[in-house]
Amino acid sequence: MNLLVEKRNSEVSLRPRFTIDLEESSKELLQRFTNELKKDDCGFLGNVVDEHVFISVSKNEEHFWSPQLHLEISEISKDTSILKGLFGPKPQVWTFFMFIHFVIGISFLGFSVLLYTRISLNESIFFPLTMMIVLPFVWTVLYFLGKIGKDTGKNQMKKLHDFMINIIGK
């Protein structure tokens, strides 16, 4: 039986990462994931593309904050491989959050320029100054919404992790 040593990144991260060194070929592991995900009683959705495995919860358990597990299984030698895992929200949720962050960042820069312009022209600075105060607050609220979402999906993350460990431990 293999001794699995899992190296994790910081718990502060919204998208936790981990790596596991394995004493098994990547092809065998990828085939095992493919076979397990094709079973009718699997309970998880997923697919295998090249060295990548994408696993998510079933449609009947899925909610807005449901996580997805992305695994990359790279061959180190003929009999060893490394598994790199990343938990994150569904790509649609992640893209939406990044878009909102981008809009807030660009707006902050725009209001900075507007504030400078209004100061230079001796005009009212109330609106741009208000936005310069409000936008970082909104950015902070978004961060905590992401943390709440991560906490909401923690049980599903544990199930995905246990599913992965069960497959690589066979």
User: Tokens 């893209």 sit at which residue?
Assistant: 95
CB count within 10 Å of CB 165 equals: 13
- Asked whether the predicted pLDDT for residue 12 surpasses 50, the reply is no
Instruction: Give helix 154-168 / helix 26-38 axis angle, nearest 10°.
Output: 120
Phi, psi of 12 (to 5 degrees): -75, -25
**What is the per-residue pLDDT across 69-92, written as a single tens digit (0 to 9) for each?**
999 999 998 889 999 999 888 888
Tokens of 48: 């295998």
The pTM (predicted TM-score) of the whole model is 0.76
Cβ-count burial 66-75 (b if 16+ within 10 Å, e if not): bbbbbbebee
